[in-house]
Amino acid sequence: MSTKRYFGTDGIRGHVGVPPITADFVLKLGWAAGQVLGDRAGSGKVLIGKDTRLSNYMFESAIEAGLSASGMNIQLLGPMPTPAIAYLTRTLRANAGIVISASHNGHQDNGIKFFSADGFKLDDAAELAIEAQLEKPLKTVDSAALGKASRLLDAPGRYIEFCKHSVVPGVSLKGLTLVVDCANGAGYQVAPAVFEELGARVIRSGTSPDGLNINVDCGSTHPQSLQALVTAHGAHAGIALDGDGDRVVMVDETGAVLDGDQLLWIIARARQRVGQLQGPVVGTQMSNLGLELALSGLSIPFKRARVGDRYVLEMLQAHNGLLGGESSGHIVCLDRTTTGDGVVSALQVLAAAIEQGQTLSAAASGMDKLPQHMINVPIARGVDVMSDERVGQAVSELESRLGATGRVLLRPSGTEPVLRVMVEGEDAVVVQQHTQALAERVSEIFASARSATTSD
Protein backbone atom coordinates (compact mmCIF):
# COMPACT_ATOMS: atom_id res chain seq x y z
CA MET A 1 0.00 0.00 0.00
CA SER A 2 1.18 3.54 -0.77
CA THR A 3 2.59 5.65 2.04
CA LYS A 4 0.32 8.44 3.25
CA ARG A 5 1.76 11.91 3.15
CA TYR A 6 -0.67 13.76 5.41
CA PHE A 7 -2.87 11.32 7.32
CA GLY A 8 -1.55 9.82 10.54
CA THR A 9 -3.17 7.36 12.93
CA ASP A 10 -5.91 9.87 13.80
CA GLY A 11 -6.49 12.16 10.85
CA ILE A 12 -4.23 15.09 9.99
CA ARG A 13 -2.70 17.02 12.85
CA GLY A 14 -0.04 19.66 13.40
CA HIS A 15 0.84 23.17 14.54
CA VAL A 16 -1.55 25.94 13.51
CA GLY A 17 -0.09 27.99 10.67
CA VAL A 18 2.54 25.40 9.79
CA PRO A 19 1.78 23.24 6.73
CA PRO A 20 -0.40 21.31 6.44
CA ILE A 21 -2.44 22.98 9.21
CA THR A 22 -3.06 26.17 7.23
CA ALA A 23 -6.25 27.76 5.93
CA ASP A 24 -5.38 27.22 2.26
CA PHE A 25 -4.57 23.54 2.76
CA VAL A 26 -7.73 22.91 4.79
CA LEU A 27 -9.83 24.57 2.09
CA LYS A 28 -8.39 22.24 -0.52
CA LEU A 29 -8.73 19.29 1.87
CA GLY A 30 -12.46 20.02 2.07
CA TRP A 31 -12.68 20.03 -1.71
CA ALA A 32 -10.66 16.80 -2.02
CA ALA A 33 -12.79 15.08 0.61
CA GLY A 34 -15.92 16.17 -1.21
CA GLN A 35 -14.59 14.66 -4.43
CA VAL A 36 -13.96 11.31 -2.73
CA LEU A 37 -16.84 11.09 -0.27
CA GLY A 38 -19.63 12.66 -2.31
CA ASP A 39 -22.35 10.81 -4.17
CA ARG A 40 -21.75 9.73 -7.74
CA ALA A 41 -23.76 12.72 -8.86
CA GLY A 42 -21.17 14.92 -7.15
CA SER A 43 -23.35 15.95 -4.25
CA GLY A 44 -24.18 14.77 -0.75
CA LYS A 45 -24.09 15.95 2.85
CA VAL A 46 -21.21 16.33 5.31
CA LEU A 47 -21.45 17.19 9.00
CA ILE A 48 -18.79 19.43 10.55
CA GLY A 49 -18.12 19.57 14.28
CA LYS A 50 -15.27 21.20 16.18
CA ASP A 51 -13.78 21.70 19.61
CA THR A 52 -13.29 25.06 21.30
CA ARG A 53 -9.83 26.17 20.16
CA LEU A 54 -9.60 29.64 18.65
CA SER A 55 -8.26 28.48 15.28
CA ASN A 56 -11.48 26.60 14.58
CA TYR A 57 -13.19 29.80 13.46
CA MET A 58 -10.69 29.88 10.62
CA PHE A 59 -10.60 26.18 9.79
CA GLU A 60 -14.36 25.65 9.94
CA SER A 61 -14.86 28.35 7.33
CA ALA A 62 -12.04 27.01 5.17
CA ILE A 63 -13.20 23.41 5.05
CA GLU A 64 -16.79 24.55 4.54
CA ALA A 65 -15.71 26.55 1.49
CA GLY A 66 -13.82 23.60 0.04
CA LEU A 67 -16.75 21.25 0.49
CA SER A 68 -19.11 23.76 -1.09
CA ALA A 69 -16.77 24.12 -4.06
CA SER A 70 -17.01 20.36 -4.60
CA GLY A 71 -20.82 20.46 -4.53
CA MET A 72 -21.30 18.99 -1.06
CA ASN A 73 -23.94 20.35 1.31
CA ILE A 74 -22.78 21.07 4.85
CA GLN A 75 -24.44 20.93 8.25
CA LEU A 76 -22.53 22.79 10.95
CA LEU A 77 -22.80 21.31 14.45
CA GLY A 78 -20.66 23.80 16.36
CA PRO A 79 -18.59 22.67 19.37
CA MET A 80 -19.43 18.99 19.87
CA PRO A 81 -17.45 15.94 21.04
CA THR A 82 -15.81 13.83 18.36
CA PRO A 83 -18.02 10.79 19.13
CA ALA A 84 -21.11 12.97 18.71
CA ILE A 85 -20.11 13.64 15.12
CA ALA A 86 -19.62 9.90 14.55
CA TYR A 87 -23.10 9.19 15.95
CA LEU A 88 -24.86 11.97 14.07
CA THR A 89 -23.15 11.13 10.78
CA ARG A 90 -24.62 7.65 11.03
CA THR A 91 -28.10 8.56 12.21
CA LEU A 92 -28.56 11.52 9.86
CA ARG A 93 -27.33 9.41 6.94
CA ALA A 94 -24.64 11.86 5.94
CA ASN A 95 -21.91 10.91 3.49
CA ALA A 96 -19.26 11.78 6.06
CA GLY A 97 -18.52 13.58 9.29
CA ILE A 98 -15.60 15.91 9.90
CA VAL A 99 -14.16 16.95 13.25
CA ILE A 100 -11.78 19.89 13.58
CA SER A 101 -9.76 19.13 16.69
CA ALA A 102 -6.33 18.25 18.04
CA SER A 103 -7.83 16.15 20.84
CA HIS A 104 -5.71 16.45 24.02
CA ASN A 105 -3.17 18.89 22.52
CA GLY A 106 -2.99 22.58 23.38
CA HIS A 107 -4.64 25.40 21.39
CA GLN A 108 -1.51 25.92 19.29
CA ASP A 109 -2.23 22.63 17.51
CA ASN A 110 -5.19 21.55 15.42
CA GLY A 111 -6.25 18.74 13.15
CA ILE A 112 -8.93 17.23 10.94
CA LYS A 113 -10.58 13.84 11.52
CA PHE A 114 -13.02 12.12 9.19
CA PHE A 115 -15.82 9.64 9.77
CA SER A 116 -17.42 7.56 7.03
CA ALA A 117 -21.17 7.24 6.56
CA ASP A 118 -21.31 4.30 9.00
CA GLY A 119 -19.72 6.31 11.83
CA PHE A 120 -16.30 4.67 11.68
CA LYS A 121 -13.05 6.47 10.94
CA LEU A 122 -11.98 6.38 7.30
CA ASP A 123 -10.02 3.39 6.12
CA ASP A 124 -6.62 3.64 4.46
CA ALA A 125 -8.08 3.43 0.95
CA ALA A 126 -10.31 6.47 1.48
CA GLU A 127 -7.49 8.49 3.04
CA LEU A 128 -5.17 7.65 0.15
CA ALA A 129 -7.90 8.64 -2.32
CA ILE A 130 -8.26 12.02 -0.62
CA GLU A 131 -4.49 12.53 -0.74
CA ALA A 132 -4.52 11.69 -4.45
CA GLN A 133 -7.15 14.39 -5.03
CA LEU A 134 -5.02 16.90 -3.14
CA GLU A 135 -2.43 16.58 -5.90
CA LYS A 136 -4.95 17.75 -8.50
CA PRO A 137 -6.00 21.34 -9.24
CA LEU A 138 -9.12 22.51 -7.42
CA LYS A 139 -12.04 22.82 -9.81
CA THR A 140 -15.19 24.48 -8.54
CA VAL A 141 -18.51 23.04 -9.65
CA ASP A 142 -20.98 25.18 -11.60
CA SER A 143 -22.41 27.98 -9.44
CA ALA A 144 -25.85 26.37 -9.50
CA ALA A 145 -24.38 23.15 -8.06
CA LEU A 146 -22.44 24.68 -5.16
CA GLY A 147 -23.06 23.12 -1.77
CA LYS A 148 -25.25 24.89 0.79
CA ALA A 149 -24.48 25.25 4.49
CA SER A 150 -26.91 25.19 7.41
CA ARG A 151 -26.72 24.76 11.18
CA LEU A 152 -28.11 21.70 12.95
CA LEU A 153 -29.57 23.41 16.00
CA ASP A 154 -30.74 20.28 17.82
CA ALA A 155 -27.40 18.44 17.60
CA PRO A 156 -26.65 18.74 21.35
CA GLY A 157 -30.05 17.35 22.33
CA ARG A 158 -29.74 14.42 19.93
CA TYR A 159 -26.35 13.45 21.33
CA ILE A 160 -27.43 13.85 24.96
CA GLU A 161 -30.31 11.44 24.39
CA PHE A 162 -28.00 8.96 22.68
CA CYS A 163 -25.62 8.97 25.64
CA LYS A 164 -28.44 8.54 28.15
CA HIS A 165 -29.72 5.51 26.25
CA SER A 166 -26.28 3.85 26.31
CA VAL A 167 -27.11 2.50 29.76
CA VAL A 168 -29.90 0.02 30.38
CA PRO A 169 -33.31 1.45 31.29
CA GLY A 170 -33.71 1.82 35.02
CA VAL A 171 -30.12 2.88 35.73
CA SER A 172 -30.31 6.18 37.57
CA LEU A 173 -27.58 8.43 38.89
CA LYS A 174 -29.92 9.93 41.46
CA GLY A 175 -28.16 10.45 44.77
CA LEU A 176 -24.70 10.67 43.21
CA THR A 177 -22.52 13.76 43.31
CA LEU A 178 -20.20 13.84 40.31
CA VAL A 179 -17.46 16.27 39.35
CA VAL A 180 -17.31 16.57 35.55
CA ASP A 181 -14.18 18.13 34.03
CA CYS A 182 -14.64 18.90 30.33
CA ALA A 183 -11.09 20.20 29.69
CA ASN A 184 -12.57 23.50 28.44
CA GLY A 185 -13.20 21.51 25.30
CA ALA A 186 -15.89 20.17 23.02
CA GLY A 187 -17.93 18.47 25.74
CA TYR A 188 -18.37 21.56 27.93
CA GLN A 189 -22.09 21.91 27.18
CA VAL A 190 -23.36 18.39 26.56
CA ALA A 191 -21.36 16.24 29.00
CA PRO A 192 -22.61 17.78 32.27
CA ALA A 193 -26.17 17.74 30.90
CA VAL A 194 -26.04 13.96 30.31
CA PHE A 195 -25.18 13.20 33.92
CA GLU A 196 -27.63 15.78 35.26
CA GLU A 197 -30.51 14.43 33.19
CA LEU A 198 -29.80 10.95 34.56
CA GLY A 199 -30.25 12.33 38.07
CA ALA A 200 -26.78 13.21 39.34
CA ARG A 201 -25.77 16.38 41.12
CA VAL A 202 -23.01 17.71 38.88
CA ILE A 203 -20.18 19.99 39.88
CA ARG A 204 -18.82 21.46 36.66
CA SER A 205 -15.15 22.06 35.93
CA GLY A 206 -13.34 22.96 32.74
CA THR A 207 -16.53 24.35 31.23
CA SER A 208 -15.42 27.93 30.51
CA PRO A 209 -13.57 27.76 27.20
CA ASP A 210 -11.97 30.93 25.89
CA GLY A 211 -10.34 29.49 22.77
CA LEU A 212 -6.92 29.23 24.40
CA ASN A 213 -7.44 27.24 27.62
CA ILE A 214 -8.42 23.89 26.11
CA ASN A 215 -6.58 21.07 27.97
CA VAL A 216 -4.65 23.59 30.11
CA ASP A 217 -4.16 22.10 33.60
CA CYS A 218 -7.44 20.24 33.30
CA GLY A 219 -9.11 17.28 31.64
CA SER A 220 -7.93 13.71 31.28
CA THR A 221 -4.26 14.65 30.82
CA HIS A 222 -4.19 16.75 34.03
CA PRO A 223 -6.52 15.07 36.55
CA GLN A 224 -4.96 16.67 39.64
CA SER A 225 -7.55 19.45 39.85
CA LEU A 226 -10.32 16.86 39.48
CA GLN A 227 -8.86 14.84 42.37
CA ALA A 228 -8.88 17.93 44.56
CA LEU A 229 -12.49 18.76 43.68
CA VAL A 230 -13.71 15.21 44.31
CA THR A 231 -12.23 15.12 47.81
CA ALA A 232 -13.22 18.72 48.62
CA HIS A 233 -16.87 18.09 47.74
CA GLY A 234 -17.04 14.54 49.02
CA ALA A 235 -18.15 13.47 45.54
CA HIS A 236 -18.85 9.86 44.62
CA ALA A 237 -16.73 10.12 41.47
CA GLY A 238 -14.97 12.47 39.09
CA ILE A 239 -15.02 12.31 35.31
CA ALA A 240 -12.35 13.97 33.15
CA LEU A 241 -12.68 14.21 29.37
CA ASP A 242 -10.04 15.39 26.94
CA GLY A 243 -10.43 18.32 24.56
CA ASP A 244 -12.56 16.51 22.00
CA GLY A 245 -14.39 14.20 24.39
CA ASP A 246 -13.28 10.81 23.08
CA ARG A 247 -11.10 9.96 26.11
CA VAL A 248 -11.93 9.71 29.79
CA VAL A 249 -10.18 9.05 33.07
CA MET A 250 -12.08 8.89 36.34
CA VAL A 251 -11.42 9.60 40.00
CA ASP A 252 -12.95 7.38 42.66
CA GLU A 253 -14.46 8.55 45.96
CA THR A 254 -11.06 8.37 47.69
CA GLY A 255 -9.45 10.72 45.15
CA ALA A 256 -7.53 7.99 43.32
CA VAL A 257 -7.21 8.24 39.52
CA LEU A 258 -8.54 5.33 37.44
CA ASP A 259 -6.94 5.19 34.00
CA GLY A 260 -8.21 3.55 30.83
CA ASP A 261 -6.94 0.09 31.79
CA GLN A 262 -8.85 0.16 35.08
CA LEU A 263 -12.01 1.48 33.45
CA LEU A 264 -11.76 -1.22 30.79
CA TRP A 265 -11.50 -3.83 33.56
CA ILE A 266 -14.66 -2.54 35.26
CA ILE A 267 -16.66 -2.58 32.03
CA ALA A 268 -15.36 -5.99 30.92
CA ARG A 269 -16.19 -7.62 34.23
CA ALA A 270 -19.67 -6.10 34.21
CA ARG A 271 -20.32 -7.26 30.64
CA GLN A 272 -19.18 -10.77 31.49
CA ARG A 273 -21.41 -10.82 34.57
CA VAL A 274 -24.53 -10.33 32.46
CA GLY A 275 -23.39 -12.49 29.55
CA GLN A 276 -22.78 -9.61 27.13
CA LEU A 277 -19.03 -9.94 26.60
CA GLN A 278 -18.14 -11.22 23.15
CA GLY A 279 -14.72 -12.03 21.71
CA PRO A 280 -11.48 -10.84 23.26
CA VAL A 281 -10.90 -7.61 25.12
CA VAL A 282 -8.36 -5.62 23.10
CA GLY A 283 -5.72 -3.37 24.61
CA THR A 284 -2.46 -2.04 23.21
CA GLN A 285 1.24 -2.66 23.63
CA MET A 286 1.13 -0.11 26.45
CA SER A 287 -1.78 -1.66 28.38
CA ASN A 288 -0.75 -2.61 31.91
CA LEU A 289 0.11 -6.26 32.42
CA GLY A 290 -2.12 -6.17 35.48
CA LEU A 291 -5.13 -5.84 33.18
CA GLU A 292 -4.10 -8.89 31.16
CA LEU A 293 -3.53 -10.97 34.31
CA ALA A 294 -6.83 -9.89 35.88
CA LEU A 295 -8.80 -10.72 32.72
CA SER A 296 -7.03 -14.07 32.50
CA GLY A 297 -8.24 -14.82 36.02
CA LEU A 298 -11.81 -14.52 34.69
CA SER A 299 -10.97 -16.56 31.57
CA ILE A 300 -11.45 -13.47 29.40
CA PRO A 301 -9.11 -13.51 26.36
CA PHE A 302 -6.97 -10.43 25.86
CA LYS A 303 -5.15 -9.22 22.75
CA ARG A 304 -2.73 -6.36 22.22
CA ALA A 305 -2.90 -4.05 19.23
CA ARG A 306 -0.50 -1.34 18.14
CA VAL A 307 -0.83 1.94 20.00
CA GLY A 308 -3.71 3.96 18.54
CA ASP A 309 -7.48 3.61 18.76
CA ARG A 310 -7.80 2.75 15.06
CA TYR A 311 -5.64 -0.34 15.63
CA VAL A 312 -7.72 -1.34 18.66
CA LEU A 313 -10.82 -1.06 16.50
CA GLU A 314 -9.26 -3.05 13.64
CA MET A 315 -8.37 -5.90 16.00
CA LEU A 316 -11.83 -5.89 17.59
CA GLN A 317 -13.43 -6.18 14.18
CA ALA A 318 -10.99 -8.89 13.08
CA HIS A 319 -11.74 -11.02 16.16
CA ASN A 320 -15.45 -10.24 16.55
CA GLY A 321 -14.84 -8.40 19.82
CA LEU A 322 -16.86 -5.62 21.38
CA LEU A 323 -14.65 -4.00 24.01
CA GLY A 324 -11.20 -2.47 23.82
CA GLY A 325 -9.20 0.57 24.74
CA GLU A 326 -6.00 2.32 25.70
CA SER A 327 -4.46 3.30 29.03
CA SER A 328 -5.00 6.93 28.04
CA GLY A 329 -8.75 6.45 28.43
CA HIS A 330 -9.73 5.97 24.80
CA ILE A 331 -12.26 3.15 25.26
CA VAL A 332 -14.30 1.58 22.47
CA CYS A 333 -17.61 -0.10 23.36
CA LEU A 334 -18.78 -1.44 20.00
CA ASP A 335 -22.01 -2.68 21.58
CA ARG A 336 -22.86 0.98 22.22
CA THR A 337 -21.14 3.10 19.56
CA THR A 338 -18.56 3.08 16.76
CA THR A 339 -15.67 5.01 18.28
CA GLY A 340 -14.13 6.07 21.57
CA ASP A 341 -16.63 8.09 23.62
CA GLY A 342 -15.65 9.54 26.98
CA VAL A 343 -19.19 10.18 28.19
CA VAL A 344 -20.53 6.78 27.10
CA SER A 345 -17.53 5.01 28.65
CA ALA A 346 -17.99 6.84 31.97
CA LEU A 347 -21.66 5.88 32.00
CA GLN A 348 -20.77 2.21 31.50
CA VAL A 349 -18.42 2.40 34.49
CA LEU A 350 -20.96 4.13 36.71
CA ALA A 351 -23.70 1.70 35.67
CA ALA A 352 -21.44 -1.25 36.54
CA ALA A 353 -20.87 0.12 40.05
CA ILE A 354 -24.54 0.99 40.59
CA GLU A 355 -25.78 -2.41 39.46
CA GLN A 356 -23.53 -4.07 42.06
CA GLY A 357 -24.23 -1.49 44.77
CA GLN A 358 -20.52 -0.65 44.89
CA THR A 359 -18.39 2.41 45.27
CA LEU A 360 -16.14 3.19 42.32
CA SER A 361 -13.05 2.03 44.22
CA ALA A 362 -14.74 -1.31 44.99
CA ALA A 363 -15.76 -1.71 41.34
CA ALA A 364 -12.11 -1.26 40.31
CA SER A 365 -10.85 -3.89 42.77
CA GLY A 366 -9.56 -7.19 41.45
CA MET A 367 -7.07 -5.63 39.08
CA ASP A 368 -3.66 -4.68 40.45
CA LYS A 369 -1.66 -2.40 38.20
CA LEU A 370 1.94 -3.50 37.94
CA PRO A 371 4.67 -0.86 38.12
CA GLN A 372 5.78 0.43 34.73
CA HIS A 373 8.80 2.55 33.94
CA MET A 374 9.68 4.08 30.59
CA ILE A 375 12.76 5.89 29.31
CA ASN A 376 13.08 7.62 25.93
CA VAL A 377 16.35 6.80 24.16
CA PRO A 378 17.31 9.19 21.31
CA ILE A 379 17.65 7.27 18.08
CA ALA A 380 17.66 8.11 14.38
CA ARG A 381 14.36 7.78 12.55
CA GLY A 382 13.90 4.65 10.48
CA VAL A 383 16.32 2.53 12.50
CA ASP A 384 15.07 -1.06 12.80
CA VAL A 385 15.92 -1.61 16.45
CA MET A 386 14.78 -5.21 16.80
CA SER A 387 16.81 -6.36 13.81
CA ASP A 388 19.95 -5.91 15.90
CA GLU A 389 20.84 -9.24 17.50
CA ARG A 390 22.43 -7.56 20.53
CA VAL A 391 19.20 -5.71 21.31
CA GLY A 392 17.18 -8.88 20.87
CA GLN A 393 19.50 -10.75 23.20
CA ALA A 394 19.31 -8.04 25.88
CA VAL A 395 15.50 -8.07 25.72
CA SER A 396 15.32 -11.88 25.85
CA GLU A 397 17.61 -12.03 28.88
CA LEU A 398 15.53 -9.47 30.74
CA GLU A 399 12.26 -11.18 29.84
CA SER A 400 13.63 -14.44 31.24
CA ARG A 401 14.50 -12.71 34.52
CA LEU A 402 11.06 -11.10 34.80
CA GLY A 403 9.11 -14.26 34.04
CA ALA A 404 5.31 -14.35 33.62
CA THR A 405 4.75 -11.29 35.80
CA GLY A 406 6.95 -8.95 33.80
CA ARG A 407 7.09 -7.45 30.34
CA VAL A 408 9.56 -5.58 28.12
CA LEU A 409 8.56 -3.28 25.27
CA LEU A 410 10.72 -1.35 22.82
CA ARG A 411 8.66 0.99 20.66
CA PRO A 412 9.80 3.75 18.28
CA SER A 413 7.86 6.95 18.84
CA GLY A 414 5.57 8.03 16.05
CA THR A 415 6.16 11.72 16.79
CA GLU A 416 9.74 12.02 18.08
CA PRO A 417 13.16 10.57 17.09
CA VAL A 418 13.27 8.40 20.22
CA LEU A 419 12.87 4.75 21.18
CA ARG A 420 10.54 4.17 24.10
CA VAL A 421 12.05 1.55 26.42
CA MET A 422 9.43 0.24 28.84
CA VAL A 423 9.72 -2.44 31.53
CA GLU A 424 6.91 -3.74 33.69
CA GLY A 425 7.07 -6.01 36.73
CA GLU A 426 6.04 -6.62 40.33
CA ASP A 427 8.62 -4.47 42.16
CA ALA A 428 8.78 -0.77 41.28
CA VAL A 429 12.43 -0.34 42.33
CA VAL A 430 13.56 -3.40 40.38
CA VAL A 431 11.54 -2.32 37.34
CA GLN A 432 13.20 1.10 37.37
CA GLN A 433 16.65 -0.48 37.63
CA HIS A 434 15.96 -2.87 34.76
CA THR A 435 14.61 -0.05 32.58
CA GLN A 436 17.65 2.11 33.21
CA ALA A 437 20.04 -0.76 32.45
CA LEU A 438 18.23 -1.73 29.23
CA ALA A 439 18.02 1.88 28.05
CA GLU A 440 21.76 2.31 28.64
CA ARG A 441 22.50 -0.91 26.77
CA VAL A 442 20.39 0.12 23.77
CA SER A 443 22.02 3.56 23.76
CA GLU A 444 25.48 1.98 23.81
CA ILE A 445 24.64 -0.35 20.92
CA PHE A 446 23.42 2.42 18.66
CA ALA A 447 26.12 4.84 19.74
CA SER A 448 28.70 2.30 18.61
CA ALA A 449 26.76 1.79 15.36
CA ARG A 450 26.82 5.54 14.67
CA SER A 451 30.52 5.67 15.50
CA ALA A 452 31.29 2.82 13.11
CA THR A 453 29.29 4.52 10.34
CA THR A 454 31.13 7.80 10.89
CA SER A 455 34.57 6.15 10.79
CA ASP A 456 33.68 4.47 7.50
Together in a domain, 278 and 140: no
Residue 139 resides in a domain = yes
Same domain, 388 and 239: no
**Residue finishing a domain among 334, 363, 392:** 363
Residues 387 and 317 in one domain: no
Which of residues 363, 391, 406 is at a domain's end? 363
Number of residues assigned to the chain? 456
* pLDDT digits 0-9 by tens, 130-140: 999 999 999 99
H-helix segments, 329-410: 342-355, 360-363, 389-402
If you average pLDDT over every residue of the chain, what do you get? 94
Statement to judge: residues 315 and 359 lie in one domain: yes
Task: Return the pLDDT at 3.
Answer: 87
Specify the pLDDT at position 287.
Answer: 95
205 is catalytic: no
- Tell me, what's the pLDDT at 41? 54
Task: Specify whether 331 is located in the same domain as 386.
Answer: no
The pLDDT of residue 98 is 98
212 and 335 housed in the same domain? yes
Task: Quote the domain boundaries for residue 134.
Answer: 12-153
5 belongs to a structural domain: no
Q: Are residues 131 and 266 in the same domain?
A: no
pLDDT of res. 383:
76
Are residue 111 and residue 190 in the same domain, yes or no?
no
Q: Is the pLDDT of residue 455 over 50?
A: no
Q: Which range among 44-48, 191-195, 342-346, 379-383 shows the weakest confidence by mean pLDDT? A: 379-383
Q: Within a domain: residue 346?
A: yes
Among 85-94, 234-243, 418-427, name the one with the lowest average pLDDT. Answer: 418-427
Q: If pLDDT is split at 50, 70 and 90, which confidence band does 27 have?
A: very high
Strands (E), 80-188: 96-100, 109-116, 149-151, 177-181
Residue 452 in this model has a pLDDT that exceeds 60: no
Q: How many domains does the chain have?
A: 3
Q: What is the pTM of this model?
A: 0.91
Q: With pLDDT > 90 as the criterion, what percentage of the chain qualifies?
A: 88
Residue 456's pLDDT is 47
C-alpha 27/C-alpha 37 separation (Å) is 15
Residue 178 counted as domain residue: yes
Residues 341 and 446 in one domain: no
Closest to 54 in 3D by CA, of 243, 211, 183, 210: 211
The most distant pair of C-alpha atoms in the chain lies apart, rounded to whole Å, by 73
Whether residues 305 and 436 fall in one domain:
no
Cβ–Cβ < 8 Å for 42, 141: yes
**H-helix segments, 92-139:** 124-134
CA 359 to chain centre: 26
6 belongs to a structural domain: no
Asked if residue 405 is part of any domain, the answer here is yes
Same domain, 43 and 87: yes
Tell me if 84 is assigned to some domain.
yes
Output the domain CATH number for residue 451: 3.30.310.50
What pLDDT does 416 receive? 73
In a domain, 224, yes or no: yes
Half-sphere exposure of 108 (CA within 13 A, CB side): 3
Catalytic residue of the set 55, 68, 101, 103: 103
Domain limit, last residue, from 363, 387, 422:
363
How confident is the model over 244-268, as a mean pLDDT?
Answer: 98
- Judge contact between 182 and 188, C-beta under 8 A: yes
CATH of the domain at 317: 3.40.120.10
Q: Are residues 83 and 182 in the same domain?
A: no
